[in-house]
Structure 1
C-alpha cells in the first residue's frame, strides 16, 4: 500500500447536531498526533458536513505530517446544496495543497443515500427501507445511478477548475460510478479481505 491511514470524523450533521461534539481544536490536534505518532499512519481521511471543521482539521493534519484525504460527508442536502458544498470543499482543499500539504480530494461520500433526490425517501431512514424490499431497490437503483452520473458529469469539470490534485469519490457499490472520471477509485462498504481477495481487485 502507498499509504496507511484511517478515517477522522469532524462531525456528520443530523438532527441539529453532529457526531463530533464538542469540537475542540486542541483535542483534534492531539487526536491527529496520536494517529501519526502512535498508530503510525501516514494518511487520514477527514470527513464531515461542516466546511470550517473539515478545513481546520485538514490544516492540523498537515501540521502533523499526514497526507490529507479531504472528504465532504453531507446529509439531507438537495442536489444544488450538495454541488455548492462539494465545490467549496474543492477550493479549500486546493488552498491546502498550494500551502504545501499532500491532498487527495474525495468529491463526496455515498451521495445517493445521503442526499435528497437520488433515491426515493425524505431522509436516510426512509431510503434505507429500500434494502428491506429487493423489488423496490431493483426498481430504484437505475435512476439513482443515472442521477449520480449526471451529478458528476456536471461537478467534475468544476472541481478540476478548483482543485489541481488527485480526485476520487467515496462511492457505494450499487452506484456504479464511472471510475474513468476520477484519479482514485474509492468505495465505501465494499472492502477487500481474506474471503474475497481473489475476486476483489
Structure 2
C-alpha cells in the first residue's frame, strides 16, 4: 500500500508488505483473557455503528506526496460529503499531523478513531509519542468530540525488540525465514501491549482499543474496551467471513474492523494479505510483475461484500483501507507502471506529469469509492452530516 506507519515504500517497503508478515507465519497467536465490555454491547443488530476510512498522515516519499494541511482539509470534506463516512481512522506518525487531522475531522462533525503508529523507534519514544497523542485525544473528547483511541497497530512488526531485527523489513525477513523464538516473541508482545494500554489509560478516559493482526497478536482484550482487527481474509461464500469473525466476539466486546480491503486487479482478493506482492522494485522505475489485468470492479465487489457482512453482524465499526496512496500513482496508458494496481486505496493518485517526480497530482475515485459511498449513504446516521465549522 502506501508509505504508512512511518515506513518508506522505497525498495518495496510498504504497509502491504507488513500484511505479508502475518501471512508468512500462519496462525500463531496468544490466548486472550476474557473481560467485560466497557464501550457497548458486542453487537447491536443490523448495521454498522461506525462506518469509516483509514486516513494516513505519513511524511510521504517526496515533498509532493507528503501530508499537507491544505490537502487534508479537502480530503476530510470529501470523506464526509462524498464518501458519506461518519468516522476517520487517523493513523500514522508525527504528533502534529495526527492532531491537526483529528481536530479537522472533529470540527467537521465526524467520529475520530485516533491511532498513532510510530515505528522503528525506541520503545520509550513510541510510548511517549502515544502519550502525547492520547492527551490530545482526551482534550478533544472533553470538548465534546466523539473519539475512540487506539494505542497502536500490530506491535509485533512495528515495535523493535519484540521480533528480531532493527527494521520492519528485517523483522519480515525473520518471519519469512522462520527464525523466530515464538515463546519469547509472544511474551515480549504481551509485555509491550500491556505497557501501551497502561499509557493509553493514563492519558485518555474514553474507549481504548488496539489494531491486532489476525494471525499473530491475539492480545489480552481485558486491557481494552473495543476489539480491533486488521482483516484481510478471503472466502468464496459470505458464511466463511461470518464464521471467522464470530471468534472475535467471544470476549463480549464491540468489534471494530480497523482495516480491510484489497487491490484493483483480477485475483487480488484471493491473494488476501499478499495482494501487494505484484511490484518489482528492483527495476527503475518499479514495474508490475506478470500480466495482471486491472479491475476496479474486483476491488469494489470485494469491499462491498465485506461491508455487507460487517453490517449484517452489527459490528461496532469498519474502516476501509484506505483513502489515498499518493506514492502509488495510476498510469492508465502504461499498465506495467500502474502501481495503483498494487495499492489498497479507494482513490487513484494521478500525476500531472507522470515521469516527473516533482509533479503535482490529484486523486480521482475508483469504483470501490462509489461502492463504499453507496453503502455508507444508505446507512448514514441522521447526525453524521452536521458540520460544526
Smaller-chain TM-score range?
0.7 to 0.9
Taking the aligned partners of 1:4 and 1:39, their CA distance within structure 2 comes to 10
How far 1:147 moved relative to its partner?
A: 1.4
Instruction: Identify the match of residue 113 of structure 1 among 142, 157, 165.
Output: 157
Residue-by-residue CA offset, 1:40-90 (whole Å, 9 max, x unaligned): 100010001100100000000011111000001112012111111111111
The one of 213, 237, 253 equivalent to 1:172 is 213
Aligned: 1:155 with 2:202: no
- Unaligned 5+ segments in structure 2 are 1-47, 247-389
* Separation of aligned partners in 2, 1:142 and 1:91: 34
Q: TM-score, normalised to structure 1's length? A: 0.88
Partner of 1:35: 79
Q: Does 1:48 align with 2:92?
A: yes
Q: Hey, what's the Cα distance between the residues in 2 that align with 1:34 and 1:153?
A: 37
1:140, CA displacement in angstroms?
2.9
Cα distance, 1:191 vs structure 2? 5.0
**Secondary structure of residue in 2 paired with 1:60:** helix
Instruction: Name the stretch that deviates more: 144-153 or 31-40.
Output: 144-153
Instruction: Report the TM-score, using the length of structure 2 for normalisation.
Output: 0.47
Take 1:157 and 1:101, find their aligned partners in 2: how far apart are those partners?
23
- C-alpha contact 1:11 1:21 (8 A) present in aligned 2: no
- Is the Cα contact below 8 Å between 1:67 and 1:102 reproduced in 2? yes
Give the root-mean-square deviation of aligned CA atoms.
2.1
Moved over 4 A (4+): 17-20, 189-193
1:181 aligns with 2:223: yes
Equivalenced residues, count: 195
Indicate the residue corresponding to 2:110 in structure 1. 66
Superposed counterparts of 1:94-133, under 5 Å: 94-133=138-177
The alpha carbon displacement at 1:159 in A equals 2.0
Please say if 1:197 is aligned against 2:242.
yes
Deviation at 1:142, TM superposition (A): 2.7
Alpha-carbon separation, structure 1, partners of 2:96 and 2:136: 9
Match of 1:90 among 131, 134, 158: 134
Aligned equivalents of 1:62, 1:35: Cα separation in 2? 13
1:11 to 58, 62, 82: 58
Could you say if the C-alpha distance between residues 61 and 29 of structure 1 is closer, same or farther in structure 2, counting changes exceeding 3 Å? same
CA distance, structure 1, for counterparts of residue 234 and residue 67 of structure 2: 32
Residue by residue, what CA displacement relative to the aligned partner does 1:103-151 show, whole Å, maximum 9, x if unpaired? 1000011121012111011111111113322x42xx4333222112212
Structure with the larger helix share: 1
- Contact preservation (8 Å) 1:172, 1:190: no
Structure 1 unmatched ranges of 5 or more: none
**Aligned residues of 2:59 and 2:66 also touching (Cα < 8 A):** no
SS at match of 1:4: strand
Higher relative contact order (CA 8 A, sep 6+): 2
